[in-house]
Structure 1
Amino acid sequence: MKTKVGIIGGGPSGLLLGQLLDLIGIDNIVLEKHSREYVLGRIRAGVLEHGFAELMREAQCGDRMDAEGEIHDGFYIAEGGNKRRVDLAGHTGGNSVMVYGQTELTRDLYEAREKMDGNIIHNVEDVKLHDLKSDAPHITYSDGTDTIRIDCDYIIGADGFHGVSRKSIPADVLVEHEKVYPFGWLGVLSRTKPVSPELIYAKSDRGFALCSLRSQVLSRYYIQVPLTETAADWSDDAFWTELKARLPKDVADGLETGPSIEKSIAPLRSFVAEPMRYGSLFLAGDAAHIFPPTGARGLNSAGSDIYYLYHALMDHYKDGDDTGLDSYSEKALARIWKAQRFSWWMTTLLHKLPDNTSYENKLQQTDMDYLFSSEAALSSLAENYVGLPF
């Protein structure tokens, strides 16, 4: 087989790039390790920057998102029994975020690819990247019986943290930066009415909690837990009791509880790989960077990678201009590190940090007090939360 762009990974990043490229006539093939059903079964984030939502519309995949997603012009931070609202729209000149589940977003992308007969190959095994520094890179994979070769001009590694793409960059070239947090988020999805029309980030002496939602009948809640615990350690009743204990009384009193549809613990990690280009290989999304879920930077930062790659490939094939390709790693990493800073800041602001000294706890509280005493600080928070410009 032969194509212009080989995309490794059939999650939202790979599907979105494939869709955008097809719309402007740039041939591509998407390879996915798992089945479509497996991909659509993954529960992920649901807060989209305004820029990511615009990219979905440009990909002609935004109709259902706009019909069913919820525009949020703000969110709450709760502490000490009170909650205070961060006015996103007011502090950013009208920008907002879209609450729309990643599973539904991925479903929309799959349906769009089907309508355009997009080339997605599932259940591929033993994917390998070859001759990345040459003018003739290629990909090989197994379909379980035969080894298939795909010749292409460029390879996009959107295959996640554990994928083959980043591992194909030589160790003496790749630099990895990582911070592992000593806690995780226990998340519960329930078919219950959300306790709040906007997200509530709660800081308490018992640990962090988040009240989120997927729709008006589907809620997503999280509590901070030690990494030594598992989801099996928590019954539904124990989860609801602990969640209520971390929320202001009026919020806890209004909380509708019910059986969990899904329950899991996500460890918190910050990770960045540099560079994001090696020869004809370009990394995107979780293959290059991981964020704590605080502040919802993960999927949105993958979206900025796809934005840069889409425009760079369009300039290359339409105008013979390689400026975007040549500057991709530098430009993408500049935005990624700003998102990393914001994600780290929100995480350290809102969580109970077990290794903190009394001095550090005082600084954490001072940071919170300053935030709500300064319009400039609130504007900075809002600007980062709705998404920095691409």
Structure 2
Amino acid sequence: MADEEFDSNKTFLASVERSKQIEADIQVNPQKYRVLTGDRPTGNLHIGHYFGSLQNRVRLAKLGVPTMILIADYQVLTDHDAFDKISQNTKQLVIDYLAAGIEPGENVIIYPHSYIPECNQLMLPFMTLVSNAELSRNPTVKEEIASAGLTNVNAGMYTYPIHQACDILFCKGNVVPVGKDQLPHIELTRNIAKAFNRKFCKNREPVFPLPQALLSKTPSILGLDGSQKMSKSRGNAIFLCSTEDETAYLIKKAKTDSERVITYDPENRPEVANLLMLISLCTKEEPADIAERIGEKGSGELKKVLAEALNEELRPLRQKRAELEKNPDYIRQVLLEGVEKARAIAIKTLDEVREAMNMKI
């Protein structure tokens, strides 16, 4: 695959099958895996993150899967000018994590990668294992360049998939929860791990595992504009830190359609279907059953039901969030303890890398 055009459909189908197998095995052998997941500190998290990733992280940690939660602060520099808020946003991410039920400890480590120099030292050897052509044709990078509207693309944008490989491999992560759009990054990471092991580990045990994607089961959540994925940058999101009144106000503005009767029809009525799905994620009812119950009461009732369901779902999180906001020393402690644990892992891996490359003195 390293020298071939990325075949998204073929890779996706194979990833779906592998993901099912991993999910089944995790239930039985959670300690066999190490999950690497995380976010860029570009602002507060929204309900798309909550349903799409935070709940899954809590679930995996409770199963006993060792979990590394990365705050990818360096990656903000590739396509954002919000570096003046990185520190503030980093702490807000931790607050969101803890409020959602993530419990840092021996099994769950939260850390920013700018504080793990040993991880970042893997960049140079990894860059020698990837061609310019591979980086240029990465479909996720192309999409992110277009989304950010960049005309002068810095080198960091092209090479951040390599940095992502460093983030995954420094801790020997073998499972990465992702959506379909992130599969090219996982494939590149696997190629780097293969290339390193092939080149430097001919007469010894491989240093790096080949990470697998654990595909999200949550459908893609549209923003309140009804046309694009929910995103901080698009202004179409409901944030976890929003108040109940703000949530209700934003939902009132959500796009639906002109039909009076509410039905669940994702293909022909995507905006209405999206709101029904959000209610379903909160109440665990089937979207079609919710639609039938609302029926002729129309979009006004649909939005009212969603506001009530979402505020009910997020109430405990928001209460805990308010308590954590009052304790910045604890948030800093979580980060510093996470850095200490992550660096210990990184130092050990870098030592193995140096030995494999015959660089130990």
Asked if TM exceeds 0.5, the reply is no
Identify, as 1 or 2, the structure richer in helix.
2
TM-score (norm 2): 0.24
Identify, as 1 or 2, the structure richer in strand.
1
